[in-house]
Chain A
């Protein structure tokens, strides 16, 4: 006991956060890499669902519109944690039942894939609203002109709608990206080894709670600030030729 205590007393900040095994820095960085990976995947899926959802809401038939409305309302009203649990259990269960019904052996769905799918589904609901609003902000004449040129719907989407809506959508999408990076922390609750869970394990083992939680907070904050720089570049490029917005940062 005596030696254990003195060992903790001697273990300095740098020893605890060292990247190689006696320190826990490596675990934290691996957790961060996992978090970023999930956030990127979820954001990508969210963008795809969001674009499709916005199109469904704007141009779909009455049934599609109502279904989209139900999707966005329910997903945005129920806590992410509940959705994650529900989709995590129900999704893996459903896939395995389908596989069993078709005569295949059940698969073990990796936490990474499940996390990306679940968070992507949640992000999709928010992205739908952001992109719908952005498409509505495009001057209608641009779309009419493209139609008059005889562009096919897909070409219209690729050449006009998506690039023209981007400046309007970027602030909302930037927010969504930051939410995605922070929502990955929720996967710690279902036991996926991302930054927050890695931090808790490190803190629980060494009892240096403050050191690790603040270190992890700093990593998340760095990710946010770094993202803000990138978002600034993208926004500048997407808004080229448009009047600058005062006070945007």
Chain B
């Protein structure tokens, strides 16, 4: 009987299993707290700041997407060099990953922004080049810093993923007469990415949590908007609470998206 119900409405029965009495009470308490916050705290600033907040949210998501993509593309050669490269490639790649993982991201960002930012104007040919309008802004440094950071962490993951692909598959491909680039493209890389996928969701969430640091180098992301509200209106908790909620929701979306992606790939690895 129970099994039949399970087959008919799997989501409904799962919900009933999940929604036990103590959880109903806890949810009620949580809703009560939210109502209390809505009634007693100040939210009138939202009206004035929401266009800026939307812009900040867009910039956060944009930076996250761009740096994760670029960082992952950079992580592939870094991982490959460490797993199978010659010594003169493996040693620098390893050193890069160690340095990136061994120093705080905030320091890296400040080194790029304040360091390079103070160095570049000294060279006239840089100031006259076409890149200068970009180099004067803060976001290229933010993108570069976050990309290198993601590449450093993910490069270490890709090293393990490349090394974890069974030798037999690569030998079989070679026995088929595949060229090295074909082997890499058809077998080694797809297998490695599949192995790295479970950690990728976690890395992406970590990268999301790193994005507010760009506010310290004057990029206006969603975190910087909350800071501006605090400065302008002296309202401290409300923007921060809302900010935490926004990050929670983005994290939820990332985790959900990766779970969907993982389900579409075969789970068993040989």
Considering the complex, give the chain B residue whose CB is closest to the CB of A186: B106
Residues of chain A within 8 A (CB-CB) of B111 are: 209-210, 213-214, 217
In the complex, the answer to whether B102 meets A221 with C-beta atoms within 8 Å is: yes
Q: Are A207 and B115 in contact (CB under 8 A)?
A: no
Q: Does B10 contact A (CB under 8 A)?
A: no
Partner of B223, one of A79, A184, A213: A79
Contact of B118 among A81, A200, A207, A220 (CB under 8 A): A207
- Chain B residues with CB under 8 Å of A76's CB are 205
Contact status A196-B106, CB under 8 Å: yes
The residues of A that contact B216 with a CB separation of less than 8 Å are 189
Residues of A within 8 A of B23 (CB): 62, 66
**Contact call A209/B114, Cβ cutoff below 8 A:** yes
Interface segment, B66-74, B190-198, B239-247? B239-247
Cβ-based interface call for A1 (8 A) = no
Tell whether, in the assembled complex, residue A77 and residue B252 are in contact, meaning their CB atoms are under 8 Å apart.
yes
Q: Are A80 and B209 in contact (CB under 8 A)?
A: yes
Expressed in whole angstroms, the Cα–Cα distance for A42 and B240 within the complex equals: 22
CA distance A209 to B209 in the complex (A): 26
Do A224 and B107 form a contact, CB below 8 Å, given A78-B247, A79-B210? no
Q: Does B26 contact A (CB under 8 A)?
A: yes
- The answer to whether B241 and A220 have CB atoms under 8 Å apart is no
Judging by beta carbons under 8 Å apart, are A89 and B237 in contact? yes
Number of A-B contacts (CB under 8 A): 112
The residues in A between 178 and 224 inclusive whose CB is less than 8 angstroms from any CB of B are: 178, 182-186, 188-189, 196, 199-200, 203-204, 207, 209-210, 213-214, 216-217, 220-221, 224
Chain A residue nearest to B114 in the complex (CB): A209
Q: CB-defined interface of B246-261 with A at 8 Å, one 1/0 digit per residue?
A: 0110011000000000
Q: Tell me whether B110 is interfacial, beta carbon within 8 Å.
A: yes
Residue A58 interfacial (CB < 8 Å): no
* A222 nearest CB neighbor, chain B only: B102
Q: Which residues of chain B from 77 to 130 have any CB-CB distance to chain A below 8 Å in the complex?
A: 98-99, 101-108, 110-111, 114-115, 118-119
Residues of B within 8 A of A82 (CB): 212, 223, 226, 240, 243-244, 247
Minimum distance in angstroms from A47 CB to a CB of chain B: 21
Whether A220 and B102, one on each chain, are in contact in the complex, defined by CB atoms closer than 8 angstroms, is yes
Complex Cα–Cα for A85 and B240 (A): 8
Contact pick for A221, options B103, B110, B119, B223, CB 8 Å: B103
Query: Nearest A residue to B111 by beta-carbon distance?
Result: A213
List the A residue with the shortest CB-CB distance to B25: A63
In the assembly, what is the distance between CA of A92 and CA of B254, in Å? 33
Would you give the 0/1 interface string for A227-245, flagging 1 where the beta carbon is closer than 8 Å to chain B?
0000000000000000000
Collect the chain B residues with CB atoms within 8 Å of residue A11's CB: none
Contact indicator A77/B251 (Cβ below 8 Å) = yes
Contacts of A99 in B (CB 8 A): none
Report the nearest A residue to B249, measured CB to CB.
A77
In the complex, what distance in Å separates the CA atom of A79 from the CA atom of B101?
18
A80 CB contacts on chain B under 8 angstroms: 209
Which residues of the partner chain B approach A214 to less than 8 Å between Cβ atoms?
111
Q: Is B268 an interface residue (CB 8 A)?
A: no
The answer to whether B208 touches A79 (Cβ under 8 A) is yes
A81 to B60, CA, bound (A): 15
**A90 is an interface residue with CB less than 8 A from chain B:** yes
Contact B114 A217, beta carbon cutoff 8 Å: no
Contact across chains for A79 and B106 when beta carbons are under 8 A apart: no
B:172-227 near A, CB below 8 Å = 205, 208-213, 216, 223, 226
Instruction: Give the distance to chain A from B198, nearest Cβ to Cβ, in Å.
Output: 15
Q: Which residue of A lies closest to B236 (CB)?
A: A89
Any B CB within 8 A of the CB of A225: yes
Chain A nearest CB, measured from B12 CB (Å): 21
B-chain residues with CB within 8 Å of residue A81 when the two chains form the complex: 212-213, 223
Set B102, B107, B209: member contacting A79, Cβ < 8 A: B209
State how many angstroms separate the Cβ of B124 from the closest Cβ of chain A: 18
Task: Report if A185-B211 is in contact (Cβ < 8 Å); known contacts: A78-B248, A217-B111.
Answer: no
CB of B67 to closest CB in A, whole Å? 15
- Return chain A residues, CB-CB under 8 Å to B105: 182, 185
Q: A204 contacts which chain B residues (CB < 8 A)?
A: 114
Complex CA gap A10/B206 in Å reads 43
- Give the docked Cα–Cα distance between A220 and B102 (Å): 7
Q: For residue A182, which residues in chain B have a CB less than 8 angstroms away from its CB?
A: 103-105
Closest to A224 in B: B102
Q: Within the complex, what minimum Cβ distance (angstroms) separates A186 from chain B?
A: 6
Residue in contact with B22 in the complex, picked from A63, A74, A186, A196, CB distance below 8 Å? A63
9 contacts between A and B (CB under 8 A): A74-B248, A77-B209, A78-B247, A82-B247, A86-B241, A89-B237, A210-B111, A217-B107, A217-B111
Closest 4 CB pairs of A and B: A185-B104, A77-B251, A213-B111, A224-B102
